[in-house]
């Protein structure tokens, strides 16, 4: 089969896509990747043929200076979401569509695999009758029955009053999503497609929508739409991750705390410094991974702290007793798979929703991103000293790790490609 993957540099969405591509390549399939230029080395290391976006945004590096969207500068999480919708989801929709259609004209694909944010890719595929799958390395972007609406970080409704509140919030979230509808519909009109009533209606054109997370992590849904599948987390470290060996002697038995935030800039320099300062007064070893948007000179290390550009989280998390993170899905799900308690300080995007799922299972605690040093210290002490957190992390983490080991992403993508081929064959037969 011939697959075409499309991604954007949004942080944790790239690594799962490239890992899925690598697994398909290992099964003998052909894979191309269209992404931002900064992802070329990793895509080619995975074995895929790489192409940069031509008309659509394409970053040459992962520094804060090249970041094309600045949701961190918004005055509220709501405004931040509107920024992402404008600058990523819908504003460049026609450019994404034109790029993917041009590549399909150059070389057809059995299946296009895209993330849930690239509405232009989906519209472009639809305009030329190309089958596509959505691969979402996180909880569902669009509402699922019984699950609280995305954004505020709500637990499931416990009564009719909370259900009514959730319904009202869902309407507000849908309205924010639909702020991108004029731009998307303008792109669709240029492609000869009819206007959509709601932004998420574009998802209905997909052959299948794969949620690369664990149903044990997500809140239970009343029912899944016919095309939606949980395929388990896709666990992998970015290929640009550097090797790591502990700088501390084996005799140092202090617990290890890993501080790991986003690989995109979220204006988190001050918080990272507060975390280092807070942890400097606790009997722990501290490893800080900067991840690209921050530089080593941005953070003053304490005597118990070691700062690196990157490290293999899958390795470090197994050694850690505590993970402190912004709450991105990739970091959270890998942390759970390692059965390690977490302190989460969400900044926006889906991070509040990831945090509430961890907290609801008793596997961690959550604080505001502007939390004071003493509040951070108190939370860390609880997570390290109260055994209930470790027990909950172990229980949930065992299920997450099992679902990751049993991931069906390759099989689902193979079946989607076969079904697409069958539909094309039938269409030719009717001509």
Note the pLDDT tens digit of each residue in 168-222. 999 999 999 999 999 999 999 999 999 999 999 999 999 999 999 999 999 999 8
Residue 11 DSSP one-character state: S
| Nearby residues of 161 by Cβ (< 8 Å), 6 or more positions away | none
pLDDT average, residue stretch 373-397: 98
Strand, helix or coil for residue 169 = helix
For residue 3, give the nearest of 119, 111, 102, 87 by alpha carbon. Answer: 111
For residues 131 and 168, membership in a common domain is answered with yes
Stretch among 48-52, 325-329, 348-352 having the lowest mean pLDDT? 348-352
In a domain, 245, yes or no: no
For residues 31 and 93, membership in a common domain is answered with yes
For residue 180, give the nearest of 69, 101, 263 by alpha carbon. Answer: 69
pLDDT average, residue stretch 163-170: 93
Looking at residue 309, its pLDDT comes to 84
For residues 364 and 425, membership in a common domain is answered with no
Note the pLDDT tens digit of each residue in 229-241. 999 999 988 877 8
Count, residues in the chain: 431
For residues 334 and 416, membership in a common domain is answered with no
For residues 104 and 138, membership in a common domain is answered with yes
Looking at residue 192, its pLDDT comes to 98
In a domain, 48, yes or no: yes
CA distance 367 to 407: 32
User: Is a pLDDT exceeding 60 seen at residue 426?
Assistant: no
In a domain, 24, yes or no: yes
Q: Give the range of the structural domain holding residue 99, as residue numbers without chain letter.
A: 2-234+407-429
Tokens of 304: 């118990």
For residues 77 and 106, membership in a common domain is answered with yes
Banded model confidence at residue 306, pLDDT cuts 50, 70, 90: very high
In a domain, 249, yes or no: no
The pairing of strands 228-230 and 208-211 is parallel
Looking at residue 362, its pLDDT comes to 98
For residues 149 and 18, membership in a common domain is answered with yes
pLDDT average, residue stretch 299-319: 89
In a domain, 134, yes or no: yes
Q: Mark 329-368 as b/e (b = at least 16 C-beta within 10 Å).
A: bbbbbbbbbbbbbbbbbbbbbbbbbbbbbbbebebbbbbe
pLDDT average, residue stretch 85-94: 94
For residues 183 and 322, membership in a common domain is answered with no
For residues 339 and 419, membership in a common domain is answered with no
**Exposed (0-12), middle (13-18) or buried (19+): which is 296, by Cβ within 10 Å?**
exposed
In a domain, 153, yes or no: yes
CA distance 115 to 51: 17
* E strand or H helix at 347: none
Note the pLDDT tens digit of each residue in 259-269. 988 766 666 77
Q: Judge contact between 288 and 296, C-beta under 8 A.
A: no
For residues 278 and 382, membership in a common domain is answered with yes
Longest dimension (CA), the chain: 75
Mean pLDDT over each residue of the chain, to the nearest integer? 91
Q: 230 - beta bridge partners?
A: 211
CA distance 111 to 128: 13
User: Is a pLDDT exceeding 60 seen at residue 429?
Assistant: no
| Nearby residues of 65 by Cβ (< 8 Å), 6 or more positions away | none
Looking at residue 431, its pLDDT comes to 45
Banded model confidence at residue 338, pLDDT cuts 50, 70, 90: very high
Looking at residue 411, its pLDDT comes to 98
In a domain, 251, yes or no: no
Percent of the chain with pLDDT over 70: 93
Dihedrals φ, ψ of 260, to 5°? Answer: -135, 115
Number of structural domains (the chain) is 2
Q: Judge contact between 400 and 233, C-beta under 8 A.
A: yes
For residue 5, give the nearest of 20, 85, 239, 264 by alpha carbon. Answer: 20
Looking at residue 423, its pLDDT comes to 67
130 CA to centre of own chain: 25
Note the pLDDT tens digit of each residue in 96-129. 999 999 999 999 999 999 999 999 999 999 999 9
Q: What is the CATH number of the domain that holds 135?
A: 3.40.50.2000
Top-confidence residue, 79 or 413: 413
Top-confidence residue, 427 or 388: 388
In a domain, 248, yes or no: no
For residues 31 and 118, membership in a common domain is answered with yes
Q: Judge contact between 316 and 243, C-beta under 8 A.
A: no
Banded model confidence at residue 83, pLDDT cuts 50, 70, 90: confident
Strand, helix or coil for residue 113 = strand
Residue 200 DSSP one-character state: G
Looking at residue 266, its pLDDT comes to 63
Looking at residue 242, its pLDDT comes to 81
* E strand or H helix at 2: strand 2-6
Tokens of 408: 């069906």
For residues 177 and 218, membership in a common domain is answered with yes
């Amino acid at each position: 089969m011939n697959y075409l993957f499309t991604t954007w540099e949004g942080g944790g969405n790239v690594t799962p896509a490239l890992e899925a591509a690598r697994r398909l390549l290992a099964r003998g399939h052909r894979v191309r990747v269209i992404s931002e230029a900064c992802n070329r080395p990793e895509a080619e290391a995975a074995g895929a043929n790489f192409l940069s976006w031509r008309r659509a945004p394409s970053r040459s590096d992962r520094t804060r200076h090249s970041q094309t969207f600045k949701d961190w500068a918004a005055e509220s999480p709501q405004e931040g979401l509107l920024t992402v919708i404008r600058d990523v989801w819908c504003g460049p929709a026609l450019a994404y569509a034109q790029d993917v259609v041009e590549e399909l004209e150059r070389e057809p694909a059995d299946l296009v695999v895209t993330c849930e944010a690239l509405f232009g890719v989906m519209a472009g595929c639809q305009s030329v009758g190309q089958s596509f799958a959505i691969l979402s390395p996180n909880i569902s972007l669009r509402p699922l029955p019984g699950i609280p609406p995305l954004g505020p970080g709500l637990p499931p409704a416990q009564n009719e009053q909370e259900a009514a509140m959730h319904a009202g919030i869902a309407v507000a979230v849908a309205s924010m999503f639909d702020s991108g509808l004029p731009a998307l519909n303008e792109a669709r009109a240029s492609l000869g497609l009819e206007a959509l009533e709601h932004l998420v209606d574009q998802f209905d054109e997909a052959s299948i929508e794969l949620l690369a997370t664990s149903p044990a992590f997500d809140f239970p849904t009343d029912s899944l739409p016919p095309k939606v599948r949980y395929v388990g987390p896709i666990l992998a470290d970015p290929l640009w991750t550097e090797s790591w060996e502990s700088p501390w002697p084996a005799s140092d038995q202090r617990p290890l705390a890993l501080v790991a935030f986003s690989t995109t800039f979220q204006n988190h320099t001050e918080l990272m410094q507060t975390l280092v300062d807070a942890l400097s007064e606790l009997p722990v070893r501290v490893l800080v991974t900067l991840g690209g948007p921050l530089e080593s000179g941005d953070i003053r290390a304490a005597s118990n702290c070691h700062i690196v550009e990157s490290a293999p989280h899958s390795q470090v998390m197994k050694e850690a007793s505590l993970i402190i993170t912004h709450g991105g899905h990739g970091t959270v799900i890998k942390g759970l798979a390692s059965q390690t308690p977490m302190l989460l300080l969400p900044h926006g995007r889906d991070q509040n929703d990831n945090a509430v799922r961890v907290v609801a299972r008793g596997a961690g605690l959550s604080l505001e991103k502007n939390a004071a040093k003493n509040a951070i210290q108190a939370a860390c002490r609880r997570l390290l000293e109260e055994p209930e957190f470790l027990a909950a992390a172990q229980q949930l983490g065992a299920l997450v790790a099992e679902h990751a080991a049993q991931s069906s992403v390759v099989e689902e993508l193979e079946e989607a490609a076969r079904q697409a081929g069958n539909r094309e064959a039938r269409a030719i037969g009717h001509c």
